[in-house]
Amino acid sequence: MATTGTRSGPVRRGAARRDELFDALVELLLAEGFSAFTLDDVAARLRCSKRTLYGLAGSKEQLVTAAVVRFFRSATGRVEATVATRTDPADRLAAYLRAVSAELAPASARFFEDLASFPPAAEIYERNTRAAARRVREIIAEGVESGAFRDVHVGFAAEVIASTMEAIQQRRIAATTGLADAEAYEQLAALLVRGLRSE
């Protein structure tokens, strides 16, 4: 038993250090993007060795992909936790989209530009956008069924919303309006809640 305890300490410390490095990496990439960084740059900024980075992923591309996955996974968990505290469909819808906005707010324009130009990361963003669109559809369907929302065609409303979210993800909204992704989600939340309320 003593031996097991001895092993678990370093394992826990190693896991904690790994989490700490990934969190720092996500923060760095959100603030400054990633296309211009080399592994040497990342190691210097995170104050670790390249060997340590290779312990996280085998290449810069894999490291970036892992960091993007971590960002969206953590963001999804926090968004869902926020929605879980609301019961009214309009509040749930607004909370969902505004929580998405809040999660995207720390990300710089450079990060989103790099995301769009790096296919593995762009696919992760696209996949998360599709999942978010499905979640919005569920909330709208709940609202229509309960009478909290107007009797709209849920499939059509969901398609319009999904198209808008896709346009945000593909940088078309940023290009045509100048809105950052977080700002676009805030505007979408305001538009939907006002338009869907039954009163």
Q: Which residues span the domain enclosing 147? A: 2-196
Tens digits of per-residue pLDDT, 37-58? 999 999 999 999 999 998 889 9
* The pLDDT value given to residue 30: 96
56-77 burial: b if 16+ Cβ within 10 Å, else e: bbeebeebbbebbbebbeebbe
Q: Are 68 and 121 in contact (CB under 8 A)?
A: yes
pTM here? 0.83
User: Which residue's entry shows tokens 């896709």?
Assistant: 166
Task: Render each residue's pLDDT in the chain as its tens digit; 199 residues.
Answer: 444 444 566 656 777 888 899 999 999 999 999 999 999 999 999 999 999 998 889 999 999 999 999 999 999 999 999 999 999 998 999 999 999 999 999 999 999 999 999 999 999 999 999 999 999 999 999 999 989 888 888 889 888 888 998 899 888 999 999 999 999 999 998 888 888 887 6
Question: Alpha-carbon distance 64 to 66, whole Å?
Answer: 5
Total domains present in the chain: 1
Q: Are 25 and 67 in contact (CB under 8 A)?
A: yes
User: Which residue's entry shows tokens 């609301």?
Assistant: 86
* The pLDDT value given to residue 170: 87
Question: Alpha-carbon distance 19 to 105, whole Å?
Answer: 22
CATH number at residue 83: 1.10.357.10
Q: Are 83 and 42 in contact (CB under 8 A)?
A: no
